[in-house]
Chains A and B, each alone.
Chain A
Amino acid sequence: MLGDDTIIEVLEVRGQTVRIGIDAPRSVPVYREEIWLEVKRENQAAAEAAAGAELPDFPAKAPPSGAADRSI
Chain B
Amino acid sequence: MSLTIESSRFGRVQIDPETVIEFPEGLIGLGGSRYALLANDPEAPFAWLQSLEDPSLALPVTNPHRFFEGFEVEVIDEDAERFGFEASSAMDVYVTVRAAPALEDFTANLKAPILVSSGRAYQVINQAPGCGLRTPLFAAPDGDSAPDAEPAC
B128 within 8 A of A: no
Q: Please report A residues at the B interface, Cβ cutoff 8 Å.
A: 26-29, 31, 35-47, 49-51, 53-58, 60-61, 63, 72
Q: List residues of chain B with CB within 8 A of the CB of A63.
A: 43
Residue in B30, B44, B78, B112 whose beta carbon sits within 8 Å of that of A60 in the complex = B44
Q: By the criterion of a CB under 8 Å from any partner CB, how many residues of chain B are at the interface?
A: 37
Q: List residues of chain A with CB within 8 A of the CB of B68.
A: none
Proximity string of chain B (92-110) to chain A, C-beta cutoff 8 Å, 1 when within and 0 when not:
0000111110010000010
Please report the number of residue pairs spanning A and B whose Cβ atoms sit closer than 8 angstroms: 95
Inter-chain contact B96/A42, CB cutoff 8 Å: yes
Q: Is chain B's interface secondary structure helix, strand, loop, or mixed overall?
A: loop
Q: List residues of chain A with CB within 8 A of the CB of B8.
A: 51
Inter-chain contact B41/A72, CB cutoff 8 Å: yes
Q: List residues of chain B with CB within 8 A of the CB of A57.
A: 41, 44
Inter-chain contact B29/A49, CB cutoff 8 Å: no
Given contacts A29-B78, A39-B109, contact A46 B28 (CB under 8 A): no
**Ranked 7 nearest A-B pairs via Cβ:** A40-B29, A53-B99, A60-B43, A39-B112, A46-B98, A55-B46, A39-B28
Inter-chain contact B30/A29, CB cutoff 8 Å: no
Proximity string of chain B (43-62) to chain A, C-beta cutoff 8 Å, 1 when within and 0 when not:
11110100000001111100
User: What separation, in Å, do the CA atoms of A41 and B79 have in the docked complex?
Assistant: 21
Q: How far is the CB of B65 from chain A (nearest CB, A)?
A: 10
Residue in B30, B44, B111 whose beta carbon sits within 8 Å of that of A40 in the complex = B30
Chain B, 89-148, CB within 8 A of any chain A CB: 96-100, 103, 109, 111-112, 123, 125, 133-134
Given contacts A36-B29, A60-B44, A60-B45, contact A50 B99 (CB under 8 A): yes
Given contacts A35-B125, A58-B45, contact A53 B28 (CB under 8 A): no
Q: List residues of chain B with CB within 8 A of the CB of A36.
A: 28-29
Inter-chain contact A50/B103, CB cutoff 8 Å: no
